[in-house]
Amino acid sequence: MSAAVTAPAGGAPAASRGILLMLLLPGLVALVITFLLPLLWLFRASFASSAVGALSGGDWTSEAYTTVLFDPFYWRVAWNTLVLGFNVAIFAVILSYPIALFLARTQSRFRGVLTALAVAPLLTSSVVRTYGWMVILGDRGVINSTLQALSLTDGVIRLTNNSFGATVALIEILMPYAILAMLSGFGRLNVQLEEAAAMLGANRLKVFTRIVLPLSLPGVLTAALLVFVLAISSFVTPRLMGGGRVFVLGTEVFNEATVTLNWPLAAALSVMLLVLFSSIILLYQRALRALEV
């Protein structure tokens, strides 16, 4: 993870370096067109005065940032987003960890099938799965109607149209990513290390806490980061499960861009999201380096 790409010793001969550059070119062009240019434009748009201004590029103003930074509403939105991200990341990781650990260690010949099953939910769109959760958690959903049929509750228990519903749905929707990220980060796990620890007198609990857990931390960290980033940038699930009552950066960007048509504000919020991302990724790299050295 920490190893950087290094040039071959002595440097590649000029001809092969030319070929290398040519090989890099298509990817580079694609990145510039689909990522770098839109990002620059986003940045530019956040300093415009209106949607029209963002397109024509005539004026510069920091109005949008003034709004974002001084309106307490947006601070709340940012806070909500962080809380949602942390909750989803923590629970998705806790729930995925045993599954990933099992998949990484099993000797079963069904391991491939089981892994495929664990990530199979990715085959359906997250919109469909969100609707699935609405069917389960909704006011007249499976849980509420069961509880009422059993006369365990009188009224409706609010499980959707709030951040609880959004969090639950996001946890489930993002778990396959967590499992995949962990599996790729469990490279240092090795049954022989566990056997060696047992030979040295470690019982199963000690083997887990002293060997398995520390060695799997990089995978856990990667999974947490991935889930966190996907959660704070999510829009569909908080929007649908929140029923318009959950305000996170994703839903606000959508609102400003399509409902209010305040593109500069939408752009400024996106930049804020980007800043959040970058700081989290920096923290992650710090943590990973501390773990792996």
Partner 1 sequence: MADHHVIIENLVKTYPGAQKPSVDHVSFSLPRGEMLALLGPSGCGKTTILRMIAGLIVPSSGAIRLDGRDVSSIPVYKRNMGMVFQAYALFPHMTVAENISFGLEMRKVGRAEREERVRKALDLVKLAGFGERKVSQLSGGQQQRAAIARSLVIEPELLLLDEPLSNLDAKLRDEMRDEIRDIQARTGVTAIFVTHDQDEALSMADRLAVMSAGRLEQIGTPREIFDRPQTDFVASFIGAGTFFEGKVAGPGVAAVDGLPPLRFVGEAAVGSPVRLMVRPHRLLLAGEDGQPNSFTGTVEHIVYRGQILTLSVRCGSRLLQADLPTHAGVLPQKGDQVTLTVAPEDVTLIGREAA
Q: Name every residue whose Cβ is closer than 8 Å to that of residue 103 and which is 6 or more positions away in sequence.
A: 111, 114, 115, 118, 179, 183
Phi, psi of 5 (to 5 degrees): -70, 125
Minimum distance of partner 1 from residue 283's CB (angstroms): 20
> At 64, which helix (H) or strand (E)?
helix 63-70
CB nearer to partner 1: give 123 or 199.
199
**Tokens matching residue 213:** 């857990």
Minimum distance of partner 1 from residue 101's CB (angstroms): 16
* Whether 218 contacts 285, CB under 8 Å: no
Q: How far apart are CA 158 and CA 164, in angstroms?
A: 9
CB nearer to partner 1: give 206 or 289.
206
Extended beta strands in 126-168, E state: none
Minimum distance of partner 1 from residue 159's CB (angstroms): 42
CB nearer to partner 1: give 187 or 244.
187
Residues near partner 1 (CB under 8 A) are 188, 190, 192-193, 195-203, 206, 210-211, 214-215, 291, 293
Minimum distance of partner 1 from residue 268's CB (angstroms): 43
In b/e form, how buried is each residue of 214-242, taking b as 16+ CB within 10 angstroms?
A: ebbbbbbbbbbbbbbbbbbbbebbbbbbb
Rounded to 10°, the helix 263-292/72-105 angle is 40
Minimum distance of partner 1 from residue 99's CB (angstroms): 23
Minimum distance of partner 1 from residue 193's CB (angstroms): 5
CB nearer to partner 1: give 6 or 203.
203
Look up tokens 């949008």; give the residue: 64
CB nearer to partner 1: give 210 or 286.
210
Torsion of CA 271, 276, 281, 283, to 10 degrees: 140
Minimum distance of partner 1 from residue 63's CB (angstroms): 51
Q: Name every residue whose Cβ is closer than 8 Å to that of residue 11 and which is 6 or more positions away in sequence.
A: 17
CB nearer to partner 1: give 71 or 195.
195
CB nearer to partner 1: give 76 or 206.
206
